[in-house]
Chain A
């Protein structure tokens, strides 16, 4: 009686009170969503997933970490998965990496890996953790929407999210794990557990660096809740310590794990593919820098649109940081920051980034649960959300076959040689890149529009606080 009651009550606690009447519907949608995902898992894989899988397999077999731009967390996680499912997995899939065979270009190895017997099992096992974090994110959405009916709609919208399906199960990128921790941070924030919120956010940032942009706004918002300067300083130090904890742990894990010397072919151009050791120097994206800093600078600066002021000086204004700065000022300016305004602020950061900077397709997942919340909050955003989806998928064509036809290669090996959409457009006389760029511009327009509408509605709600407008308000009253 005791145990069964406990099991039942803890199962109940997973679902918020407001959605319990809809549990049958939720279960059906969960099974449907699960089935779709499980079917998609073995069919698709990108070169990135195959690299992460092979390096994780190498870590499992040789207990050595291959340094890369990815967080070591994902390699430990996949190694754990391969250990759990080890007896069911074939051993010859990544024989090249274990036999000191290296391909130039690195992508050439994909062809040999996708045709290895049992590769589909490897791809599927690699994606199983995504399934867990995917559904956990859906569950958090249920907790973040108070209205039961709307929460169920949010759940359905997330289950059907084509961006989520594409990023996690077609490309096979692990951004869903970091996204889950962002949503968990919002959950803790809603429960007034700000320290846990901060910790969750920093875990997210340690997994995927993009989340680092959310830490300063969160710190500012939490500090605002303190009343005096002494308390503010104390909480600031605490938050900074918590914020840096996952990064410190990551560095410790890197320090204690033996690392393999993955050499780079220095005959290649020094571009994004130039990653590894040459001599005693580790190169990341062609630059001899520690991966952490290089990754951050690449994302924050190199990928951003910028305005140069005077041609003879290096004075440059980065558009993303301009918007980001405005948002931080807004947080400093306004006092009251309830949950809704927090996730809207996060959403504005992501949308601003997508609008003005080069973003890898998997990063678009970051805004998706927040867009779901937005659509549920205000129905009129549904149109914009739906418009953004096809525009995003055209944007992925920029990566030509690697994120389109090649994704099918594990299930249909010939797809490795199929042309991509840019090739097809070029073949029929259309300027492929320019066509994609037109749609990319439209995607930027949608992102800016949503961000501006959010910002304006937020500003309008705060207008009475500004003395100049207060006069107008008072005039209206009269």
Chain B
């Protein structure tokens, strides 16, 4: 009798344990799985996304649509005048694709001007004159410049510019001189800044002179005397610098035009960035006017992969009805010899879909 009761108890206990096991299985396995499955299937009631307001995918860093360009200086150049020179002390020649004008300076006004006739060019349609040049001295008394002559034979002075011993671009909007037709262009090397300048023979080398319809959107700026360049290829902007790069050296590509969008509405700056090393920080600055610049991004990366940055510029107070300038660049963090930062797919977007 006792044995029967004990076996009944055992069966009861087994049943109890079985039910508890089922309960545990339902509670801790079946229910969580089904619950998570259900939650995974639920969809959001909003679809936030960035709507494009303005973009730059080409990053134009060069002058485009040239109406006239000379890169070998082999034909058409004649000496317009020399002053303060003796026989053979001034002249012009072309070799290795470079135009070479030289003059001798002996404590009096001296110099040389060469010129070339062109087919009629309308400066309204083709306003941008570019001269790539360097000189044998950067003495402050030396002057390098250019001039243009209109269809009535009037000559216009392109202003006085100091010389440079490294290759430099003299960029000029001809519309500030003349809104009309030009027929001749001239370049000159003189000591106009100081007529008492006496250094013997000095030369100017010109590698390119051209007149273009389109100016680049992006121009270079830097805060240290280094070798820097900006260029673009396949929609990627490359900002390069080399030489003694010290901490704090900044090189930028600045876009000061064509930013006619409301940055209060399109306040999300989106850009992809790649850096050459951890020693250089990508740097993005937004200018709302000439005197108010906001650094909205300063970041280092430890890889050579692309990183997409989405920055709400309103967080930095950098919003206005239209932006004055956008600056993409880099800042050197640790000393180095060479740094490059790449940018692509720049846009200003608004947040929508909610």
Contact = CB atoms under 8 A, between A and B. Distances in A.
B13 to A, nearest CB: 6
A280 B310 CA distance: 23
A413 B298 contact: no
Contact of A267 (B37, B298, B302): B298
B45 interface: yes
Contacts of B39: 42, 118, 120-121, 124
Interface stretch (B14-22, B61-69, B176-184, B256-264): B14-22
Given A116-B44, A267-B296, A279-B334, A8 B13 contact: yes
B40 A88 contact: yes
A8 B16 contact: yes
Interface in A100-117: 100-105, 108, 111-112, 114-117
What band does the interface of chain A fall in when counting residues whose beta carbon is under 8 Å from B? 35 or more
Interface stretch (B104-112, B154-162, B311-319): B311-319
A266 B306 CA distance: 19
A117 B43 contact: yes
B83 interface: no
A116 B41 CA distance: 11
Nearest to A264: B299
Interface string A415-434: 01100000000000000000
Interface string B127-157: 0000000000000000000000000000000
Given A105-B315, A278-B281, A414 B40 contact: no
A100 B312 contact: no
A416 B47 CA distance: 13
A21 B298 CA distance: 65
A121 B297 CA distance: 34
- Interface of chain B, helix or strand or loop or mixed? mixed
B42 A118 contact: yes
Contacts of B305: 100
Contact of B20 (A11, A90, A116): A11
A85 B36 CA distance: 8
A105 B310 contact: no
Interface in A18-74: 38, 42
Contact of B309 (A85, A102, A105): A102
A277 interface: yes
Contacts of A412: 45
A261 interface: yes
Contacts of B46: 115, 413-414
Contacts of B186: none
Contacts of A279: 278-279, 281, 300, 333-334
B298 A417 contact: no
A7 interface: yes
A42 B35 CA distance: 10
Contacts of A267: 284, 295-298, 316
A8 B14 CA distance: 10
A118 B48 CA distance: 15
Contacts of A101: 307-308, 310
Interface in A101-157: 101-105, 108, 111-112, 114-121, 124-125, 128
A89 interface: yes
Nearest to A277: B300
B308 A99 contact: yes
Contact of B301 (A7, A118, A261): A261
B4 to A, nearest CB: 15
Contacts of B315: 104-105
B210 to A, nearest CB: 38
Given A8-B17, A111-B354, 8 more contacts: A99-B308, A100-B308, A103-B310, A104-B309, A104-B310, A115-B47, A279-B278, A414-B45
10 contacts: A4-B13, A4-B17, A8-B16, A89-B36, A101-B307, A104-B309, A104-B315, A121-B39, A266-B298, A277-B300
